[in-house]
Structure 1
Amino acid sequence: LVWSAEQRAMVPSGQTKVDCEGALKALKLMGQTLGMFRKDPVSEEPGVESLEAYLRRLDEEEAQKSST
């Protein structure tokens, strides 16, 4: 809305302003709830290792087999 001196009232300008602050805040809260922003993600299930740890373990086992 813009002020029209002729009509002495606020009139539509034809432009819209999108305010996504609420949507972004909701997405941030959902991500925090799901643990998406942790620096060191922790597995929710005990005994389940991360993909990086699994691949590292496979590389170490392969290195041990090749050295013997």
Structure 2
Amino acid sequence: MKSRYDFVYLFDVKDGNPNGDPDAGNLPRVDAETGQGLVTDVCLKRKIRNFVGLVKQEQPPYEIYV
């Protein structure tokens, strides 16, 4: 049986670039209408996967496949 978990991941960045766009010279991704920074789902998955890997040393059952 596979489990599904829903959660909220909040973070705040000031004067930083949490998700650069490699197609635009690693400039920050920005919403054209609001000017607020954007972070893609892929970036969030990578940040969570890296954190869990560091904390749990990638030991079963803490391996994350997305």
Q: Same fold (TM over 0.5)?
A: no
Please classify the TM superposition score into its range, dividing by the shorter chain length. Answer: 0.3 to 0.5
Q: Under a length normalisation based on structure 1, what TM-score does the superposition of the two structures give? A: 0.32
The structure with the greater share of residues assigned to helix is 1
Greater C-alpha radius of gyration: 1
Higher relative CO (Cα under 8 Å, sequence separation at least 6) belongs to: 2
